Amino acid sequence: MSSLISQTFRARLQHIFKLGTSRTSVKEEARRIRVVNIVSFATGILVAVYGIAFHLLLHSLLILIPAVFVFCPAFFCMIWLNSRGYFNASRIGLQAIFILIILYYGAILGRVTEVQLLAVFLMSVALLVSRPQEKAQRIICVSMPIICLVALEFNYYFHIVEPLPLSAQTQNMYRWMVMPVVLFLNYLAISLYQRNIMDLLRVLRSRNTALVRSRNEVLDQRMQLAKYSEELEDLVHDRTMALQTANDAKTRFISELSHEIRNPLNAILGISELLTDALGQPDSEARIREMARNLHATSHNILELVNSVLELSKIEAGKTDEVKMSDFSLREWLHNAVNIYQSIASKKSVFIHLEIDSRFPEMIIGDKLMLGQVVNNLLSNSIKFTPAGKNIRVRCFHNLRNMFIQVCDEGRGIAAQQLNAIFKPFEQGDSDVYREFGGSGLGLAIAKRKVELMGGSIEVSSQQGEGTNFLIALPLQVSTENGPQAAGELPLLPAGAKVVVMDDNAIDHTIMKHFLARIGIAQAGFAKNGLEGIELARQMQPDVILMDLHMPVMSGRETFFNLRQEELLKHIPIVAVSSDAFKEQEQEYIAMGMDGYIRKPVEIRVLHGVLEKLLYRAPNAARGAQSHAC
C-alpha cells in the first residue's frame, strides 16, 4: 500500500517536473525546463515550510507573509509559466525570485542568512537553465548574485535597513535551520549538473556508437565498391581483349587480303597489256586465246578472294582462318597458276618450268584458296627478284604422308642473316628491296601462317646472287573423286528444257544466253523486269525461272510472290540470281521459298549444277525442296 502511494506520489512529482517539456522537441531545452521546474518546486516548498517555521520561532509576519504568500506562489507560478510554454519568462522569473529572497531575507535577518551559499546556488542554477549561446544573459545571471552580495554588505555597513533584533540563541537556531536548506539547494544544483553530465555522456556514447556503426557501414560499402570496381575492371578488360582480338583479326585479314588481291590484279594488268600488244599481230590468235584463258582464271582467283571477304560475320568472330577442304586437282591448278604467272614472267624474259612427279595423285583434298594464296605469293616474289633470262622452277612431289611444292629461282637470293626475318610481318630483307621493288613485307608472313594453318611448314634456303629455294610441305590427303572436268565437257542438260531469265541488265542477258547454250538449253526467254517476266512465263511455261532480284517496274520479291500466286505458274522453280553478296541474304531468299541462289558473276559450273538439280527433279517435288541451297 505504502509503495503504491509512494509510486503514485513519485509519478505525480515526475508529472510536475515534466510540465512544459512536451512543448519542445529539443532535448536540451526540455532538460532546462525540467531543471527550472525541479528548482522552483523544491524551493517553493522549502520557502513555505521555513516561512512557517521561522514565524513560529520569531513570531514575525515579516518572514511568514512574503514566504507563504509571495515567494512560494511565485515559485509555483514559474512551473505554470513553463506548462504554458513561457520558458524564458519562467527562467528569468526564477532568478528574479531568488535575488529578491536573498535581498529581502539578507536585509531583515542580517548576517545570519547564509547569503553567500545561496548566491553560489543561484549562480549554478543560472548556468544550468540558460543556453550556452545566450552569453549576455548568462553573464547577467551570474553577476546578479554578486551584485546582491555587494548590496547586502553595503546595507550591513551603512545600516540602511535594520535587521530584526535576534537573540544569540535565535540566531544560532536560525543558522542551523538555514544551513541544511542552503546545502540541500547546492546539493540539488550539483546533482542536476551530474545528471546533465551523465546525459551528455550517454548522448556522446550513443553518438560514438552510431559513428562507429556508420564508419563500419562506410567501410563495408567501400569494400563492396572496391569489389564491384574490380569486377568491372575485369569485365572491361575481358571485353577489351575480345574487341582487340576481333579488331586484330580484322586488321590482319584486311591487310592480308589487300596483299593477296594485288597479286592477281598485277597478273590481270600484265596480261591485258600483253593482249593489247598482241592484237593485230600476225598469228596471234592462239596466243590471245591463251591469254584470255589466263585472264579468266586470274579474275576467278580474285572472285574467290572477294567471296571470302563477304563472309563478314566470320571476320567479326575472328574466324577468318578457317581451312576449307575440297577435292581438287593440284596438277591442273598448278598448270593454270604457272600459265598465268608465265604471262607476267615472259614480260621480263623469265621462264617458269613446272615439274610434277608423274606419280603425284590426280585429285587431292585441301584448301585450294589458301594453297593458291601461298603459291601465288612465292611465284610473284620469284618473278620479282629474278633477272631477265633466268629460270624459275616449280616442282611438285610427295611421299607417303606429305606433298611438297618447291619454288626455286635463280634470282638475287637472300642474305643468310635475313633468312629468318623474311617470315616476320613487314620485313623486307634489306631496305633497298622496298626502294627497288615495293611491296609490304607481308606476303611471306601470310604464306607461313596459311601453311601452318593447313598443318604444314615452309622453309627457305638461299645463296645470295644465285637464287632462292622455298619448300612447302603439307599433309597429303588423296581424294577418291574422278579427275576434273573442263567447262566445255559439262554434260548437256535435257533437250527441250525451257528457261525464262528476268534481268534488267542487257549484258547479263548476253552472258546468260551464251552459258545456257553451252550447257544445252536453247529455249530461253529474256525479260527486262518482273512484269514482262510474268507475261513471258505465262506464254512459255518454262521449267525454271532465273530471276534477278533488283529490277525496275516490278522487283524480284514482288514478282516472286505474284508467280507463286498464279495457278499455272506456281509450280515453276525460281532461282534468285543476284549480286547480293552476303550469306545472310542468300539464306533470306531461300527462307522466302526460292528454289536456289546463284551469286553474280555467274559461273557456268554453278549454273549447270543448279539447273541440273532442278530439271532432273520430279516436277511435284519442286515445292517440297524449297529450302535447298545450291
What residues make contact with ligand ADP under the rule CB under 6 A?
377, 381-382, 385, 409, 411-414, 422, 427-429, 433, 439-445, 468
CA distances, 536 to each of 113, 142, 206, 565 (Å): 137, 120, 96, 16
Smaller CB distance to ligand ADP: residue 44 or 443? 443
Smaller CB distance to ligand ADP: residue 262 or 583? 262
Q: Could you say which DSSP state residue 600 is in? A: S
Helix, coil or strand: residue 167: coil
Smaller CB distance to ligand ADP: residue 441 or 484? 441
Sequence-separated contacts (24+) of 130-135 with Cβ below 8 Å: 130/32, 130/91, 131/28, 131/32
Query: Smallest distance from the beta carbon of 515 to ligand ADP, in angstroms?
Result: 37
Cα 342 from Cα 98, distance rounded (Å): 128
Smaller CB distance to ligand ADP: residue 83 or 381? 381
Smaller CB distance to ligand ADP: residue 200 or 415? 415
Single-letter residue type at 480: T
Query: Smallest distance from the beta carbon of 351 to ligand ADP, in angstroms?
Result: 15
Query: Smallest distance from the beta carbon of 448 to ligand ADP, in angstroms?
Result: 9
Calculate the CA 65 to chain-centre distance. 89
Specify whether the CB–CB gap between 524 and 510 falls below 8 A. Answer: no
CB neighbours (10 Å) of residue 497? 21
- Who's near 219: CB < 8 A, 6+ residues apart? none
Q: Could you say which DSSP state residue 566 is in? A: S
Report strand pairing: 523-527 vs 498-502: parallel
Query: Smallest distance from the beta carbon of 298 to ligand ADP, in angstroms?
Result: 18
Q: Which of 470, 464, 530, 500 is nearest to 611 (CA)?
A: 500
Query: Smallest distance from the beta carbon of 421 to ligand ADP, in angstroms?
Result: 8
In this structure, what are the phi and psi dihedrals at residue 23, rounded to the nearest 5 degrees?
-80, -5
Smaller CB distance to ligand ADP: residue 426 or 561? 426
Query: Smallest distance from the beta carbon of 398 to ligand ADP, in angstroms?
Result: 23
Query: Smallest distance from the beta carbon of 340 to ligand ADP, in angstroms?
Result: 18
Cα 380 from Cα 345, distance rounded (Å): 9
Smaller CB distance to ligand ADP: residue 380 or 578? 380
Smaller CB distance to ligand ADP: residue 409 or 543? 409
Cα 514 from Cα 509, distance rounded (Å): 9
- What is the SS3 assignment for 362-408? CCEEECHHHHHHHHHHHHHHHHHHCCCCCEEEEEEEECCCEEEEEEE
Residue 576 is inside which H or E element, if any? Answer: strand 574-578
Query: Smallest distance from the beta carbon of 468 to ligand ADP, in angstroms?
Result: 4
Query: Smallest distance from the beta carbon of 308 to ligand ADP, in angstroms?
Result: 19
Smaller CB distance to ligand ADP: residue 123 or 433? 433
Query: Smallest distance from the beta carbon of 482 to ligand ADP, in angstroms?
Result: 36
Query: Smallest distance from the beta carbon of 452 to ligand ADP, in angstroms?
Result: 15
Smaller CB distance to ligand ADP: residue 415 or 568? 415
Specify whether the CB–CB gap between 297 and 335 falls below 8 A. Answer: no
Query: Smallest distance from the beta carbon of 397 to ligand ADP, in angstroms?
Result: 20
Query: Smallest distance from the beta carbon of 618 to ligand ADP, in angstroms?
Result: 54
Smaller CB distance to ligand ADP: residue 439 or 525? 439
- What is the SS3 assignment for 25-60? CCHHHHHHHHHHHHHHHHHHHHHHHHHHHHHHHHCC
Smaller CB distance to ligand ADP: residue 259 or 331? 259
Smaller CB distance to ligand ADP: residue 72 or 344? 344
Calculate the CA 343 to chain-centre distance. 54
Q: Could you tell me the strand order of the sheet in which 596-599 lies?
A: 523-527, 498-502, 544-548, 574-578, 596-599
Q: b/e map of 318-348 (b: 16 or more CB within 10 Å)?
A: bebeeeeeebbbbbebbebbbbbbbbbbeee
Calculate the CA 287 to chain-centre distance. 61
Smaller CB distance to ligand ADP: residue 422 or 537? 422
Query: Smallest distance from the beta carbon of 330 to ligand ADP, in angstroms?
Result: 21
Query: Smallest distance from the beta carbon of 235 to ligand ADP, in angstroms?
Result: 39
Smaller CB distance to ligand ADP: residue 298 or 382? 382
Specify whether the CB–CB gap between 395 and 408 falls below 8 A. Answer: yes
CB neighbours (10 Å) of residue 22? 11
Smaller CB distance to ligand ADP: residue 434 or 582? 434
Residue 527 is inside which H or E element, if any? Answer: strand 523-527
Single-letter residue type at 431: S
Specify whether the CB–CB gap between 392 and 350 falls below 8 A. Answer: yes
Specify whether the CB–CB gap between 612 and 575 falls below 8 A. Answer: no
Query: Smallest distance from the beta carbon of 445 to ligand ADP, in angstroms?
Result: 6
